[in-house]
Amino acid sequence: MSEQTLFPIPIKKEDLPLDFDRAKEIAEGAIEAAKMDPGAPFEMEVVEALRLVAELDPAQYMRYRHQMKKAAGVLVTELDRAVKQGNHTASEQESIADAIVNLVKEAATLFHDPDGTCYASFEQNGHIETWALGSWGFNEWASFRFYTEFGKAPRDASLKDAIGTLSGIARFEGEEQEVSLRTAKHGEAYYIDLCDESWSAIEVTSSGWRTVANPPVRFRRTKTMKPLPMPIVGGDIRLLWRSINIPEDDRDLVLAWCLECFRSDTQFPILELSGEQGSGKSDTQSKLRDLIDPNDVNLRAAPSKVEDIFVGAGNNWLVSLNNLSRLTAAQQDAFCTLSTGGGYAGRALFTNKDESLIEAKRPVVFNGISALATAPDLVDRTLRIELPRIKQRRKSSAIEAEFEANKAAIFGGLLDLFVEALSKLPHVDIENLPRMADFAAFGEAIYHALGRKPGGFTEAYQAVQNRAVMSALESSPVSVAIQEYMSQHLHGFNGTVKRLLGELEYYRTLGEAWPKSPKGLADALRRQSPALRVVGIQVEFDKQHHHDGVHVNIKQRKTFFQEKDKTYNHVHDVHDVHAGKPDGDWAGEHREHGEHGFEAKNPHEKKISEPPPNRDCNECVHYLGRCECNAGQFHCPTFGNHPCSKFEAKKEGQR
């Protein structure tokens, strides 16, 4: 092996960071270490030492490589390659990095965004592209520029050094500019990145929409983003319903959500698709994403950590999660943050002090069989659509082919509706705006554009919100227990949380998560109190300190057995009970009462016109053995007030 073959670029002693004796010590130590660690000869310090030995004493280098092969079976060809690749002098590596820096500065505009991320914008094939420094798109372009200029590829180390220098230039010399992902607003216009090879975008205003070659906003892209369809003028949005399973009553709401995803200057409602197996949740969600933010992977699996949610949001405009079974409290908080805008802070990789911040505001869609949004804050931000089971099935290949054929027309129809809604938005006036106020106003404008009645969106949106609240209440074992308790204790509860925890034990659902302490119950009550207010249950904590613990007062603000039509809407109502006369002469059939007492088998099936009368269980001779614990006694610890259609007062001796 000749010196020239191994080392085509001569090494000058003044360039060497090690002296010869020290280099030999390192090499000999690596020979011993290789007996236990085959990777020892390839450590950076060892490679540098071997390179020095090979330059100054090639014969000694050959001895070392032979000993390493004998000691640990080291592949000497790989060792030679490592030594040879490391044979660029520091000055040569610096010169390559400098060349890359100069090439980029000549061809690109360097700048940074408000978060401090550094970018380069450059012309490529007649259009402008914007890439983050160090991204795959920038690295490919910079490497190609270097290859075109010098006829060889730059080393990774040189490119990395160049990016470090370019980042400093972008941050300290470049301007601060906004950079957007998929959609942005500039002036009165919205821009949607088509993500095609020409980097064109759709410009949408209240006057119309058009395709623009070089939009006035800077879009960045990620590796998994896919292009939107090129929209057709005069498209037909009705074609969408042939390919996805959305109930007819909820279709306008879904259209409002889709278009709101393009309005980057507003808070985003969250779309939750729920339904049993066979309702087409995943397929519906994937096709909706194809019209908003198509991706190589339209549906992502459940995140294992909260950080994963924000990392996904950093690389996707639409956060799309598939087939979720439940959401933790931390995950629900994270989705609330994404909906209105915020960030996640964690320790930067390989550091103990630096903080890594991921900030984003994104539309979100997820699906599951049961209700996922259960925290009141998230419920307020969620549009929950229940998908029916598909009765008449079609071949997936036929559905996909039809959707692909209609996609451009559907997208064109969406843009037409977007334009009409923007033109009507200034004239929308809603007296009592809900929490997602911008979405409510825009939704009303969309309903006007579709020819729906005034107030139609607000009415439909409120109905969906009410269903979501009821689903959330059903999903909370504490809320279920509170409602059961209040149905039998019409005067409510006033006392310590500790005592309430004990009393609710009789109403808890077995197998569900249940607070293990008064503090846990208090926290659950605070979280669920907004939803409980919807069904007329007021939860108030006493602000004064008491020696026996925290006190809470639970009462009914209004009856939660009635709505506008005086029929029950409560998830645990008592039904089919007949009212009687005030003098205690109660009449009526037993119906869902047993012969000796009240027995509500299925409280969801029937309705009554008035709230049932309630009498103390201890006063009724028929209330025997019908308590929840089935003790078969009058003095069951669970009894309170109950309605009875055949009340008969007990005699004094029976009480």
- For 575-596, write each residue's pLDDT tens digit: 333 333 333 333 333 333 333 3
**Band (647; pLDDT cuts 50, 70, 90):** very low
pLDDT band at 13 (very low <50, low <70, confident <90, very high): very low
| C-alpha to C-alpha distances, 167 to 8, 105, 119, 133, 145, nearest whole angstrom | 33, 11, 8, 7, 18
**314 close to 358: Cβ distance less than 8 angstroms:** yes
**Tokens linked to 247:** 């109930």
Of the ranges 143-152, 202-211, 416-425, which one carries the lowest mean pLDDT score?
143-152
Give pLDDT, residue 19.
Answer: 76
pLDDT for 355? 57
- Residue 160 CB partners (closer than 8 Å, separation 6+): none
Highest mean pLDDT among 57-71, 331-345, 510-524: 331-345
Question: Is residue 82 within 8 Å of 34, Cβ to Cβ?
Answer: no
Burial class (CB in 10 A: 0-12, 13-18, 19+), 383: buried
Q: How does pLDDT run across 315-359, given as a tens digit for each residue?
A: 999 999 999 999 998 999 999 999 999 877 765 544 444 556 677
**DSSP-derived secondary structure for 406-455:** HHHHHHHHHHHHHHHHHHHGGG---SS--SSHHHHHHHHHHHHHTTPPTT
Residue type, 560: F
Burial of 89 (0-12, 13-18, 19+ CB in 10 A): middle
3-state secondary structure 451-494: CCCCCHHHHHHHHHHHHHHHHHHHHCHHHHHHHHHHHHCCCCEE
209, 210, 366: which is closest to 288 by C-alpha? 366
Q: Tell me the two tokens of residue 63.
A: 């001895």
What's the pLDDT at 159?
A: 93
Average pLDDT estimate for 444-451: 96
What is the distance between the alpha carbons of residues 124 and 106, in angstroms, rounded to a whole number?
Answer: 14
> Tell me, what's the pLDDT at 133?
97
Which pLDDT value is given to residue 291? 98
Instruction: Please state, in angstroms and rounded to a whole number, the distance separating the CA atoms of residues 123 and 109.
Output: 10
Which tokens go with 570?
Answer: 């409560």
Backbone φ and ψ of 55, nearest 5°: -75, -45
Give me the pLDDT at residue 456, please: 92
- The torsion defined by the Cα of 631, 635, 638 and 644, in degrees rounded to 10, comes to 100
How many residues appear in the chain?
655
Host H or E run for residue 205: strand 201-205
Cβ neighbours of residue 507 closer than 8 Å, sequence gap 6 or more: 480, 481, 482, 484, 485, 628
Output the pLDDT for position 630.
Answer: 37
Q: Which two tokens stand for residue 412?
A: 């064109």
pLDDT at 68: 82
Whether residue 454 has pLDDT greater than 70:
yes
Contact in structure between 596 and 625 (CB atoms under 8 Å): yes
pLDDT at 344: 76
Residue 257 has pLDDT above 90, yes or no: yes
Q: Which residue has the higher pLDDT, 92 or 389?
A: 389
What's the whole-number mean pLDDT along residues 565-575? 35
Average pLDDT of span 28-35: 85
Starting at the edge strand found earlier in the chain, the sheet holding 108-112 runs 108-112, 118-124, 127-132
**pLDDT tens profile 146-175:** 999 888 888 888 899 999 999 999 999 999
**Mean of the pLDDT values across residues 291-304?**
95
pLDDT grade, residue 466 (50/70/90)? confident
- Interior angle at CA 244, CA 243 and CA 248, nearest 5: 115
Q: Which two tokens stand for residue 483?
A: 């409602």
pLDDT value, residue 465: 86
Amino acid at 389: R
SS3 306: helix
For residue 614, count CB atoms less than 10 angstroms from its CB and return exposed for 0-12, middle for 13-18, buried for 19 or more: middle
Question: What is the tens place of the pLDDT at every residue in 488-497?
Answer: 888 899 999 9
DSSP 106-158: HHEEEEE-TT--EEEEEEETTEEEEEETTSHHHHHHHHHHHHHHHSSPPPHHH
Q: Residue 374 and residue 377: Cα distance in Å, rounded?
A: 8
What is the C-alpha separation between 600 and 597, in angstroms, rounded?
Answer: 10
In this structure, of 44-53, 103-112, 494-503, 576-585, the range with the lowest mean pLDDT score is 576-585
Q: Name the helix (H) or strand (E) containing 383.
A: strand 382-386
- Two tokens at 181? 């992902």
Q: 541-563 pLDDT, tens per residue?
A: 998 888 888 999 999 886 433 44
Task: Give 266-296 pLDDT, tens digit per residue.
Answer: 999 999 999 999 899 999 999 999 999 999 9
Residue 337 DSSP label: H
Answer yes or no: are the C-beta atoms of 238 and 227 closer than 8 Å: no
Span 240-255, pLDDT tens digits: 999 999 999 999 999 9
Residue 381 — pLDDT band, cuts 50, 70, 90? Answer: very high
58-72 and 44-56 are packed helices; what angle lies between their axes, rounded to 10 degrees? 140
Closest CA to 413 of 185, 251, 297, 183: 251
Q: Which of 375-389, 468-482, 606-620 has the lowest mean pLDDT?
A: 606-620
Per-residue pLDDT, averaged over 26-40, amounts to 85
Distance CA 476, CA 512 (A): 9
Q: Which amino acid is at 158?
A: S
Residue 351 CB coordination number (10 Å):
9
pTM of the model: 0.69
Task: With CA atoms as reference, report the closest residue to 137 among 200, 220, 226, 218.
Answer: 220
444 with 455: CB under 8 angstroms? yes
Q: Identity (one letter) of the amino acid at 117?
A: T
Model pLDDT for residues 123-135, shown as the tens digit of each residue:
999 999 999 999 9
| Confidence at residue 182, expressed as pLDDT on a 0 to 100 scale | 97
Return the structure tokens found at 113: 């965004």
Mean pLDDT of 230-245: 96
**Given this model, what pLDDT does residue 322 score?**
97
pLDDT above 80: residue 393: yes
Quick check: 417 pLDDT over 90?
Answer: yes
The CA R_g of the chain, rounded to the nearest whole Å, is 35
Q: How many Cβ atoms are within 10 Å of 252's Cβ, its own excluded?
A: 21
pLDDT of residue 477: 87
SS3 content of the chain, % helix, strand, coil (to 5): 40, 15, 40
